[in-house]
Amino acid sequence: MNPTPLSWYLGLSAVLFTVGVLGVLVRRNVIIIFMAIEIMLNAVNLAFVAIARSLGSMDGQVMVFFVMTVAAAEAAVGLAIILAVFRSRETTNADELMSLRW
Amino acid sequence: MNPLVFLLLAVLTVAAAISVVVTANPVHSALGLVVTLFLLSVFFVALDAQLVAVLQVIVYAGAIVVLFLFVVMLLNLQGERRLTGGMGLLVAAIAGALAFTALLVTLLGRSAPAPSTTVPAGFGETQALAQRLFTSHLLAFELTSVLLLVAVVGAVALSRR
Protein backbone atom coordinates (compact mmCIF):
# COMPACT_ATOMS: atom_id res chain seq x y z
CA MET A 1 0.00 0.00 0.00
CA ASN A 2 1.42 3.34 -1.00
CA PRO A 3 -0.72 6.37 -0.07
CA THR A 4 1.89 8.93 -1.21
CA PRO A 5 0.73 10.30 -4.59
CA LEU A 6 2.93 9.87 -7.62
CA SER A 7 3.07 13.62 -8.20
CA TRP A 8 4.93 14.09 -4.90
CA TYR A 9 7.69 11.78 -6.07
CA LEU A 10 7.84 13.55 -9.43
CA GLY A 11 7.98 16.91 -7.63
CA LEU A 12 10.88 15.74 -5.48
CA SER A 13 12.56 14.44 -8.62
CA ALA A 14 12.11 17.81 -10.33
CA VAL A 15 13.55 19.69 -7.34
CA LEU A 16 16.58 17.39 -7.16
CA PHE A 17 17.15 17.73 -10.91
CA THR A 18 17.07 21.51 -10.60
CA VAL A 19 19.59 21.42 -7.75
CA GLY A 20 21.85 19.43 -10.07
CA VAL A 21 21.39 21.92 -12.92
CA LEU A 22 22.19 24.75 -10.52
CA GLY A 23 25.38 22.98 -9.44
CA VAL A 24 26.52 22.57 -13.05
CA LEU A 25 25.78 26.25 -13.76
CA VAL A 26 27.36 27.96 -10.76
CA ARG A 27 30.31 25.83 -9.62
CA ARG A 28 33.85 26.07 -10.99
CA ASN A 29 35.36 22.83 -9.81
CA VAL A 30 34.99 20.12 -12.47
CA ILE A 31 34.64 17.39 -9.84
CA ILE A 32 31.72 19.20 -8.15
CA ILE A 33 30.13 19.62 -11.59
CA PHE A 34 30.42 15.85 -12.00
CA MET A 35 28.71 15.28 -8.65
CA ALA A 36 25.89 17.61 -9.72
CA ILE A 37 25.48 15.50 -12.87
CA GLU A 38 25.17 12.42 -10.65
CA ILE A 39 22.42 14.20 -8.68
CA MET A 40 20.56 14.86 -11.94
CA LEU A 41 20.87 11.21 -13.01
CA ASN A 42 19.52 10.13 -9.63
CA ALA A 43 16.60 12.53 -9.84
CA VAL A 44 15.67 10.92 -13.15
CA ASN A 45 16.07 7.47 -11.58
CA LEU A 46 13.60 8.44 -8.87
CA ALA A 47 11.10 9.52 -11.52
CA PHE A 48 11.58 6.24 -13.42
CA VAL A 49 11.03 4.12 -10.29
CA ALA A 50 7.99 6.15 -9.17
CA ILE A 51 6.35 5.86 -12.60
CA ALA A 52 7.20 2.15 -12.79
CA ARG A 53 5.46 1.66 -9.43
CA SER A 54 2.50 3.70 -10.58
CA LEU A 55 2.04 1.77 -13.84
CA GLY A 56 2.83 -1.61 -12.26
CA SER A 57 5.48 -2.24 -14.96
CA MET A 58 9.08 -3.36 -14.41
CA ASP A 59 10.43 -1.51 -17.45
CA GLY A 60 11.15 1.67 -15.48
CA GLN A 61 13.34 -0.25 -13.07
CA VAL A 62 15.18 -1.90 -15.96
CA MET A 63 15.84 1.60 -17.30
CA VAL A 64 17.26 2.63 -13.90
CA PHE A 65 19.62 -0.34 -14.16
CA PHE A 66 20.91 1.00 -17.50
CA VAL A 67 21.17 4.56 -16.17
CA MET A 68 23.32 3.31 -13.29
CA THR A 69 25.60 1.44 -15.70
CA VAL A 70 26.03 4.49 -17.90
CA ALA A 71 26.66 6.66 -14.81
CA ALA A 72 29.38 4.29 -13.64
CA ALA A 73 31.05 4.30 -17.06
CA GLU A 74 30.74 8.08 -17.28
CA ALA A 75 32.27 8.57 -13.80
CA ALA A 76 35.20 6.28 -14.60
CA VAL A 77 36.03 7.93 -17.93
CA GLY A 78 35.28 11.45 -16.70
CA LEU A 79 37.47 11.18 -13.63
CA ALA A 80 40.26 9.71 -15.75
CA ILE A 81 39.97 12.75 -18.04
CA ILE A 82 40.05 15.08 -15.02
CA LEU A 83 43.21 13.32 -13.78
CA ALA A 84 44.85 13.62 -17.20
CA VAL A 85 43.93 17.32 -17.45
CA PHE A 86 45.16 17.97 -13.91
CA ARG A 87 48.50 16.38 -14.76
CA SER A 88 49.17 18.73 -17.65
CA ARG A 89 47.34 21.85 -16.39
CA GLU A 90 47.51 21.63 -12.57
CA THR A 91 43.90 22.83 -12.28
CA THR A 92 40.33 21.52 -12.07
CA ASN A 93 38.80 24.95 -12.57
CA ALA A 94 36.32 24.82 -15.44
CA ASP A 95 36.83 28.51 -16.28
CA GLU A 96 40.55 27.99 -16.90
CA LEU A 97 40.06 24.97 -19.15
CA MET A 98 39.08 26.73 -22.35
CA SER A 99 41.24 25.35 -25.14
CA LEU A 100 40.35 22.11 -26.87
CA ARG A 101 43.98 21.09 -27.38
CA TRP A 102 47.37 22.03 -25.98
CA MET B 1 4.89 5.64 2.76
CA ASN B 2 3.28 7.97 5.29
CA PRO B 3 3.03 11.47 3.73
CA LEU B 4 4.66 13.01 6.82
CA VAL B 5 7.62 10.61 6.58
CA PHE B 6 7.82 11.33 2.85
CA LEU B 7 8.01 15.09 3.46
CA LEU B 8 10.67 14.68 6.14
CA LEU B 9 12.81 12.44 3.92
CA ALA B 10 12.25 14.72 0.91
CA VAL B 11 13.43 17.78 2.84
CA LEU B 12 16.50 15.86 4.06
CA THR B 13 17.28 14.66 0.52
CA VAL B 14 17.02 18.13 -1.00
CA ALA B 15 19.11 19.59 1.85
CA ALA B 16 21.81 16.97 1.26
CA ALA B 17 21.75 17.67 -2.50
CA ILE B 18 22.04 21.40 -1.88
CA SER B 19 24.98 20.77 0.46
CA VAL B 20 26.73 18.97 -2.42
CA VAL B 21 26.37 22.08 -4.55
CA VAL B 22 27.19 24.80 -1.98
CA THR B 23 30.01 23.43 0.21
CA ALA B 24 33.50 24.65 -0.57
CA ASN B 25 35.35 21.46 0.32
CA PRO B 26 34.97 18.70 -2.35
CA VAL B 27 35.23 16.01 0.35
CA HIS B 28 32.16 17.45 2.09
CA SER B 29 30.39 17.50 -1.27
CA ALA B 30 31.16 13.81 -1.77
CA LEU B 31 29.80 13.00 1.70
CA GLY B 32 26.65 15.02 0.95
CA LEU B 33 26.33 12.97 -2.25
CA VAL B 34 26.48 9.75 -0.19
CA VAL B 35 23.67 11.01 2.09
CA THR B 36 21.55 11.97 -0.95
CA LEU B 37 22.04 8.55 -2.54
CA PHE B 38 21.22 6.66 0.67
CA LEU B 39 18.02 8.68 1.17
CA LEU B 40 17.04 8.04 -2.45
CA SER B 41 17.47 4.30 -1.87
CA VAL B 42 14.96 4.62 1.01
CA PHE B 43 12.48 6.07 -1.50
CA PHE B 44 13.23 3.17 -3.86
CA VAL B 45 12.37 0.66 -1.11
CA ALA B 46 9.12 2.54 -0.44
CA LEU B 47 8.34 2.30 -4.18
CA ASP B 48 8.72 -1.53 -4.22
CA ALA B 49 12.07 -1.38 -6.04
CA GLN B 50 14.13 -3.46 -3.63
CA LEU B 51 16.78 -4.59 -6.10
CA VAL B 52 17.26 -1.07 -7.44
CA ALA B 53 17.64 0.22 -3.87
CA VAL B 54 20.37 -2.33 -3.12
CA LEU B 55 22.10 -1.57 -6.42
CA GLN B 56 21.92 2.13 -5.60
CA VAL B 57 23.80 1.60 -2.33
CA ILE B 58 26.35 -0.81 -3.81
CA VAL B 59 27.05 0.86 -7.14
CA TYR B 60 26.57 4.55 -6.33
CA ALA B 61 27.43 4.94 -2.66
CA GLY B 62 29.88 2.06 -2.71
CA ALA B 63 31.73 2.47 -5.98
CA ILE B 64 31.11 5.82 -7.68
CA VAL B 65 31.40 8.04 -4.61
CA VAL B 66 34.53 6.17 -3.48
CA LEU B 67 35.96 6.89 -6.94
CA PHE B 68 35.10 10.58 -6.50
CA LEU B 69 36.69 10.68 -3.03
CA PHE B 70 39.76 8.90 -4.37
CA VAL B 71 40.25 11.51 -7.12
CA VAL B 72 39.55 14.44 -4.75
CA MET B 73 42.14 13.21 -2.28
CA LEU B 74 44.63 12.34 -5.02
CA LEU B 75 44.44 15.84 -6.46
CA ASN B 76 44.43 17.46 -2.98
CA LEU B 77 42.14 20.34 -3.95
CA GLN B 78 41.99 23.22 -1.51
CA GLY B 79 41.43 26.97 -1.53
CA GLU B 80 39.87 27.49 -4.94
CA ARG B 81 37.35 30.13 -5.85
CA ARG B 82 33.96 28.52 -5.58
CA LEU B 83 31.63 30.21 -8.00
CA THR B 84 31.79 30.87 -11.68
CA GLY B 85 30.61 34.00 -13.41
CA GLY B 86 29.95 36.27 -10.42
CA MET B 87 26.82 37.35 -8.60
CA GLY B 88 24.78 38.20 -11.71
CA LEU B 89 24.99 34.67 -13.05
CA LEU B 90 24.33 33.25 -9.58
CA VAL B 91 21.12 35.25 -9.12
CA ALA B 92 20.00 34.44 -12.67
CA ALA B 93 20.71 30.74 -12.15
CA ILE B 94 18.78 30.59 -8.87
CA ALA B 95 15.83 32.49 -10.35
CA GLY B 96 15.85 30.20 -13.37
CA ALA B 97 16.05 27.14 -11.13
CA LEU B 98 13.05 28.25 -9.06
CA ALA B 99 11.01 28.98 -12.18
CA PHE B 100 11.99 25.65 -13.75
CA THR B 101 11.04 23.78 -10.57
CA ALA B 102 7.68 25.53 -10.37
CA LEU B 103 7.00 24.69 -14.03
CA LEU B 104 7.97 21.04 -13.66
CA VAL B 105 6.06 20.53 -10.40
CA THR B 106 2.93 22.10 -11.88
CA LEU B 107 3.11 20.10 -15.11
CA LEU B 108 3.94 16.80 -13.42
CA GLY B 109 1.31 17.28 -10.73
CA ARG B 110 -1.31 17.79 -13.41
CA SER B 111 -0.36 15.06 -15.84
CA ALA B 112 0.38 12.33 -13.31
CA PRO B 113 -1.95 9.34 -13.41
CA ALA B 114 -3.36 7.93 -10.19
CA PRO B 115 -0.99 5.44 -8.55
CA SER B 116 -2.01 1.81 -8.68
CA THR B 117 -2.33 0.53 -5.15
CA THR B 118 -1.74 -3.09 -6.09
CA VAL B 119 1.32 -4.38 -7.90
CA PRO B 120 1.98 -7.90 -9.20
CA ALA B 121 3.56 -10.39 -6.79
CA GLY B 122 7.35 -10.22 -6.77
CA PHE B 123 7.34 -6.68 -8.20
CA GLY B 124 10.77 -5.09 -7.94
CA GLU B 125 12.52 -8.27 -6.89
CA THR B 126 15.54 -9.73 -8.63
CA GLN B 127 13.62 -12.37 -10.55
CA ALA B 128 11.10 -9.96 -12.04
CA LEU B 129 13.81 -7.46 -13.05
CA ALA B 130 16.05 -10.17 -14.52
CA GLN B 131 13.10 -11.56 -16.46
CA ARG B 132 12.55 -8.23 -18.21
CA LEU B 133 16.28 -7.58 -18.56
CA PHE B 134 17.12 -10.87 -20.26
CA THR B 135 14.07 -11.07 -22.51
CA SER B 136 12.74 -7.78 -23.88
CA HIS B 137 15.86 -5.70 -23.09
CA LEU B 138 18.50 -8.28 -24.03
CA LEU B 139 20.06 -6.25 -26.86
CA ALA B 140 20.40 -3.16 -24.66
CA PHE B 141 21.94 -5.32 -21.95
CA GLU B 142 24.57 -6.68 -24.32
CA LEU B 143 25.31 -3.18 -25.63
CA THR B 144 25.75 -2.06 -22.02
CA SER B 145 28.43 -4.70 -21.52
CA VAL B 146 30.25 -3.36 -24.58
CA LEU B 147 29.89 0.17 -23.17
CA LEU B 148 31.46 -0.91 -19.88
CA LEU B 149 34.33 -2.57 -21.73
CA VAL B 150 34.94 0.60 -23.73
CA ALA B 151 34.81 2.66 -20.52
CA VAL B 152 37.38 0.42 -18.82
CA VAL B 153 39.72 0.54 -21.81
CA GLY B 154 39.23 4.31 -22.10
CA ALA B 155 39.92 4.95 -18.42
CA VAL B 156 43.09 2.84 -18.53
CA ALA B 157 44.27 4.48 -21.75
CA LEU B 158 43.62 7.98 -20.38
CA SER B 159 45.42 7.44 -17.10
CA ARG B 160 48.48 5.72 -18.60
CA ARG B 161 50.90 8.29 -19.90
Is residue A61 predicted with pLDDT exceeding 50?
yes
B99 close to A (CB below 8 A): no
pLDDT at B61: 85
The set of residues, in sequence order, having a beta carbon less than 8 Å from that of B4 and lying 6+ positions away, is: none
Cβ contacts of B104 on chain A, cutoff 8 Å: 10-11, 14, 17-18
Cβ contacts of B81 on chain A, cutoff 8 Å: 28, 93
B109 close to A (CB below 8 A): yes
CB atoms within 10 A of CB A41: 20
Q: Which one has a higher pLDDT value, A92 or B27?
A: B27
CA distance B88 to chain A (A): 11
CA distances (Å), origin A91, targets A33, A49, B154, B157: 14, 38, 21, 21
**Span B43-68, mean pLDDT?**
90
Phi-psi region of B63 (alpha: psi -120 to 50; beta: other; left: phi over 0): alpha
CA distance A89 to chain B (A): 12
Q: Measured between alpha carbons, how far is B32 from A19 in angstroms, rounded to an integer?
A: 13
Q: Which one has a higher pLDDT value, A95 or B54?
A: B54
* Residue among A19, A50, A84 minimizing CB distance to B21: A19
A102 domain-assigned: no
Nearest Cα residue in chain A from B26: A32
Least confident of A15-29, A88-102, B24-38: A88-102
Q: Which one has a higher pLDDT value, A1 or B74?
A: B74
Q: Measured between alpha carbons, how far is B75 from B70 in angstroms, rounded to an integer?
A: 9
A42 domain-assigned: yes
Q: What is the ipTM of this complex?
A: 0.89
Which of B13, B154, B120 has the alpha carbon at shortest distance from A74? B154
Give the angle subtended at the CA of A45 by the CAs of B129 and B127, to the nearest 5°.
10
CATH of domain B1-79: 1.20.120.1200
Least confident of B21-25, B77-81, B144-148: B77-81
pLDDT at A96: 79
**Span A73-93, mean pLDDT?**
87
Number of structural domains, chain A? Answer: 1
A48 domain-assigned: yes
Q: Which domain holds residue A77?
A: 29-95
Backbone Cα Rg of chain B: 20
Least confident of A3-17, A57-71, B101-115, B122-136: B101-115
pLDDT tens digit string along B105-134?
787 767 656 656 677 777 878 888 888 889
pLDDT at B85: 63
Whether A26 contacts B89, CB under 8 Å: yes
CATH number for the domain spanning A56: value is 1.10.287.3510
What's the pTM value of the predicted model, to 2 decimals?
0.88
Q: Show which of residues 16-75 on chain B sit within 8 Å of chain A, judged by CB atoms.
A: 17-18, 20-21, 26, 29-30, 33, 36-37, 40, 43-44, 46-49, 51-52, 55-56, 59-60, 63-64, 67-68, 71-72, 74-75
Cβ contacts of B133 on chain A, cutoff 8 Å: 62, 65
